[in-house]
Amino acid sequence: MKLLALQRTMARAVMQPLTKSEHMQEKAPGGGKMRAYASRFIKPNDRLTSFERLEIYNRQYWFRLFSALAEDFPGLRSVLGDKQFDAMCKAYVVDCPSTSFTLRNLGSKMESWLRAHPKWAGKKQTLALDIARLEWADIEAFDNESKPALRTEDLATADAETLKLELQPYVRLLDFAYPVDDLLLAVRKEDDTDFASNAFSEKRKKKHVRAVAKLNPQPIYLVVHRIDNSVYFRRIEPEEFAVLTALGKGKPLAKALDAAFRKSKMPLEERAAAVQKYFQTWATLGWFCRPLQKKATGA
Amino acid sequence: MPANKFNGFTDYGIGIGLRATHYDHILSRKPVCDWFEIISENFMIDGGRPLQILDEILEQYKVVQHGVSMYFGSAEKPNREHLRRLKDLVKRTKTPWVSDHLCWGSVDGRYTHDLLPMPYTFEAAKLTAQKVREVRDFLEVPVAVENVSSYAEFHVSEMTEWEFLNEVVERADCGILLDVNNIYVSSQNHNFNPLDYVNSIPAERVAQIHIAGHSKYRKYILDTHDHPVIDPVWKLYDRAIQRAGHTATLLEWDDSIPTFKEVHDEALKADKFLASSVLATAV
């Protein structure tokens, strides 16, 4: 068997889902018996059959990927419950196997996949989509690039009609139907407590899952961002969210402000002060990038 | 033989793997440690806390890059994005050499994130060596390949694991990251004498040595990096040092990680073997 053929043969078996009892399936990829499939390319030894040797890798693959998803999506796990989350992960990995050299990117398609497969969250679909989106934004905010931040002097000669501002690559703007920021922080706090005292963890988890099930919708606008290399969630007003979203899409400042306040209920006399406050906050938190210097052209 | 072209002519001592649980201790207490090995993939990102920590570590310590997903033995071409990011990191850390495993783990663009064993064939050796050369030429630093722990052997193999390792490193003219724990684990799983392995590798190509602990199950041993180094592995280390000389040594501890001091103290047990190799050289 040539190298590529052997690697394809082994990979198909390694990536095949485990049974409910977390063992290798008896059925081989493409049909037939896995025992015969394994013995075609793997030698047995005096203690393990070819099947058992291949099974070590099959189990390691799934345990590693489950562990990565559980680490990245504790909130989603809390919403779905442990069993449903594990079953969902299996289906997700089958549909969206890792195509990156780093496991960091494994969950990148979670929200869109869940949207296309509503059976996994059932009645909690909206909540599940919200929390999955927040957890992926949290990963991106943690290690996306940071560019030099915009300074006040960069705006000295700016014209609002033409001024375009670029958001930092680590800033994520998200609108949710549920207050999932509170939920995720509560799950993380609980996980920390569980770590300190395993004895009561099961009881607390059940209590928490019940609490999650009762979570009521409450629309929120959130910025997931980074300060001193720690990720924070900041709730903002709908108008501020609209301005940031428009700027993020490349609209000039004047148009972004116009679009943001078009349907706003904020009294006209309060808007100028609100915008001034927005800019102060954005400048303090460094959410916008400094414009690139135009290169001087030689004569 | 400690400084050679495969480790950038450096003479590093005893290091440990840089792990997140030790960040606070290292940055606040600044303990003495000859060097740290980082997992390259953890820092091949665009920004944020991991890179800030790395920069702070680089201000005070020597760092060597160790990868887990280059997959020299995969039949497909190296991932260009992976190579580009790895080179950016090499420039940042100024690592004297980079290492990754003699294994495969991806096929048709899908990653298993595991270190899967090679079939020990001449075809695989030729292809793997070609890939090692390609990566080294792109990165412009010496490359060392590490032997992995394995749990399966293939019918198509035409040679022993150590013969395969030798075939690859000779063809690629690259270094070896000799993992004596992996030799021990594989020797138990595949019924060979681990000393045959250590005695057969080209000692002049050893750029670095790994030591670690593992977990013993009823029918096989798993390379888990969650225990101290056991005596039979220290004996292999002793023999490797006798052959290769005072070589950069790194303790891996990746799960159930104890305090920095416990990990470092375990690594420093290597000192007595290294000291005896210096004495032997002097005599």
- Using the beta-carbon criterion (under 8 Å), do A3 and B79 form an inter-chain contact? no
pLDDT averaged over chain A?
Answer: 90
Task: Kindly list the residues from chain B whose CB atom is less than 8 angstroms away from the CB atom of residue A96.
Answer: none
- Is the pLDDT score of B13 beyond 80? yes
Q: How many CB pairs lie under 8 A apart between chains A and B?
A: 127
Q: Give residue A205's pLDDT band: very low, low, confident or very high (50, 70, 90).
A: low
Alpha helices by DSSP H, B22-155: 23-29, 49-60, 80-93, 122-139
The DSSP secondary-structure symbol of B211 reads E
Amino acid A45: pLDDT: 97
pTM (two decimals):
0.92
The shortest CB-CB distance from A226 to any of B48, B69, B151 is to B48
Give the count of beta carbons closer than 10 Å to the beta carbon of residue A13. Answer: 22
Amino acid B3: pLDDT: 86
- Using the beta-carbon criterion (under 8 Å), do B75 and A3 form an inter-chain contact? yes
For residue A101, the chain B residue with the least C-alpha distance is B69
- Using the beta-carbon criterion (under 8 Å), do B121 and A97 form an inter-chain contact? no
Residues A172-193 have a mean pLDDT of 90
d(CA B47, CA B35): 23
Alpha-carbon A295 to chain mean position: 37
Alpha-carbon gap: A61 to the closest alpha carbon of chain B (Å): 6
Task: Kindly list the residues from chain B whose CB atom is less than 8 angstroms away from the CB atom of residue A230.
Answer: 49
Residues B156-176 have a mean pLDDT of 98
Alpha-carbon B59 to chain mean position: 23
- Using the beta-carbon criterion (under 8 Å), do B151 and A53 form an inter-chain contact? yes
Q: Enter the tokens of residue A94.
A: 């089958």
Spatial CA neighbour of B87 closest among B51, B136, B131: B136
Q: What is the DSSP string of A15-81?
A: TSPP-TTSS--SBPTTSSBHHHHHHHHB---SS--HHHHHHHHHHHHHHHHHHHHHHH-HHHHHHH-
Least confident of A98-112, A154-168, B158-172: A154-168
Residues B181-189 have a mean pLDDT of 98
- Using the beta-carbon criterion (under 8 Å), do B110 and A99 form an inter-chain contact? yes
d(CA B53, CA B41): 15
- Using the beta-carbon criterion (under 8 Å), do B107 and A4 form an inter-chain contact? yes
The shortest CB-CB distance from B48 to any of A14, A50, A144 is to A144
Q: Which CATH superfamily is domain B5-282 in?
A: Divalent-metal-dependent TIM barrel enzymes (3.20.20.150)
Please write the tens of the pLDDT for every residue from A5-47. 999 999 999 999 999 999 999 999 999 999 999 999 999 999 9
Q: Give residue A198's pLDDT band: very low, low, confident or very high (50, 70, 90).
A: very low
For residue A102, the chain B residue with the least C-alpha distance is B41
The shortest CB-CB distance from B153 to any of A10, A43, A145 is to A43
Give the count of beta carbons closer than 10 Å to the beta carbon of residue A203. Answer: 9
- Using the beta-carbon criterion (under 8 Å), do A45 and B191 form an inter-chain contact? yes
Amino acid A196: pLDDT: 44
Residues A171-187 have a mean pLDDT of 96
- Using the beta-carbon criterion (under 8 Å), do A57 and B151 form an inter-chain contact? yes
- Is the pLDDT score of B124 beyond 90? yes
Amino acid A140: pLDDT: 96
Q: Residue ranges per domain, chain A?
A: 1-72, 76-285
Q: Residue ranges per domain, chain B?
A: 5-282
Task: Kindly list the residues from chain A whose CB atom is less than 8 angstroms away from the CB atom of residue B112.
Answer: 11, 14-15, 57, 61, 98
Q: At what angle do helices A125-143 and A180-196 cross, to 10 degrees?
A: 70
Asked if residues B89 and B43 have their Cβ atoms less than 8 Å apart, the reply is: yes
For residue B190, the chain A residue with the least C-alpha distance is A45
At B15, give phi and psi (nearest 5°): -125, 175
Q: Among A8, A94, A101, which would you mutate to test the B interface (most chain B Cβ atoms within 10 Å of its Cβ)?
A: A101
Alpha-carbon gap: B263 to the closest alpha carbon of chain A (Å): 22
Amino acid A299: pLDDT: 41
Amino acid A163: pLDDT: 86
- Is the pLDDT score of B24 beyond 80? yes
Amino acid A66: pLDDT: 97
Please write the tens of the pLDDT for every residue from B203-239. 999 999 999 999 999 999 999 999 999 999 999 999 9
Q: Give residue B258's pLDDT band: very low, low, confident or very high (50, 70, 90).
A: very high
Q: Give residue B279's pLDDT band: very low, low, confident or very high (50, 70, 90).
A: low
Least confident of A85-94, A121-130, A187-196, B65-74: A187-196
d(CA B171, CA B178): 17
Residues B260-277 have a mean pLDDT of 93
For residue A54, the chain B residue with the least C-alpha distance is B152
- Is the pLDDT score of A195 beyond 50? no
Burial of A250 (C-beta count, 10 Å sphere; 0-12/13-18/19+):
exposed
Amino acid B282: pLDDT: 52
Spatial CA neighbour of B35 closest among B55, B53, B51, B58: B58
Please write the tens of the pLDDT for every residue from B63-121. 999 999 999 999 999 999 999 999 999 999 999 999 999 999 999 999 999 999 999 99
For residue B48, the chain A residue with the least C-alpha distance is A143
- Angstrom CA distances, B48 to A23, A171, B76, B144, B157, stand at 39, 12, 32, 29, 45
Alpha-carbon gap: A282 to the closest alpha carbon of chain B (Å): 19
- Is the pLDDT score of A77 beyond 50? yes
Alpha-carbon gap: B50 to the closest alpha carbon of chain A (Å): 7
Amino acid A200: pLDDT: 44
Please write the tens of the pLDDT for every residue from A109-157. 999 999 999 999 999 999 999 999 999 999 999 999 999 998 878 877 8
- Using the beta-carbon criterion (under 8 Å), do A52 and B219 form an inter-chain contact? yes
Please write the tens of the pLDDT for every residue from A217-261. 999 999 999 998 899 999 999 999 999 999 999 999 999 999 889
Spatial CA neighbour of B255 closest among B210, B197, B215: B215
CB-based contacts of A281: which residues, under 8 Å, 6+ apart?
A: none
